[in-house]
Every structure is written in C-alpha cells, then in structure tokens.
Amino acid sequence: MTTRIRERNQKELQKAFEILDQDQSGKISMQDLKRVVDRQWDLCESEEERIDDETLSAMIQEASSDGDDQIDMKEFMRIITPCLLG
C-alpha cells in the first residue's frame, strides 16, 4: 500500500514538475516559473497577492543547490518532499 502511494506521489510530482518546466528543458527556470505565476494571477483579481520578480528569483536561488539558478527534478523533490510529509 505504501509503495503504491509513493509511486502515485512520484507520478504527481513529475506532472507538477513538467507543468512548471514550460520549455521542457528538464529544469525550471525563472522564465518558466514567471509564465506559470503570471497565468495564475491573470485569473485572480487581487494585485496585492502578485509575486514580484525579485521574490521569484529568490525562490529559484534558494531551491537551486548547484547555483545554476534553475531547479532540476532532484532539487524540486528536495524542496517539495518536506511539504508532503507535513
């Protein structure tokens, strides 16, 4: 049972990564993240909650452990897994 749950979570995380990796380069860049965030905020009415470029850049830099300012799947899993575990 636990293995099936892990496999399902892995597949869902892979899908989420692919959605964020807009150019399908295998890494989430600032441009990728900005496109997704901008699309989401276009659906919202509140400008107060919009994430600015500086914040997005800081998020990318924090997540990128190799310093390339992009998030690969391993880095994505590292930052997302603790969120899933509570």
pLDDT in tens, 28-47: 999 999 998 888 776 666 66
pLDDT-derived band at 9, boundaries 50, 70, 90: confident
Domain positions in the chain:
2-85
Position 51 confidence tier, pLDDT thresholds 50, 70, 90: confident
Task: Identify which has the larger pLDDT, 5 or 81.
Answer: 81
- Structurally, what CATH architecture does the domain formed by 2-85 represent? Orthogonal Bundle (1.10)
Residues 54-62, mean pLDDT to the nearest whole number: 93
Residue 23 to residue 78: CA distance in whole angstroms: 21
Give me the pLDDT at residue 42, please: 67
3-state secondary structure the chain: CHHHHHHHHHHHHHHHHHHHCCCCCCEECHHHHHHHHHHHHHHCCCCCCCCCHHHHHHHHHHHCCCCCCCEEHHHHHHHHHHHHHC
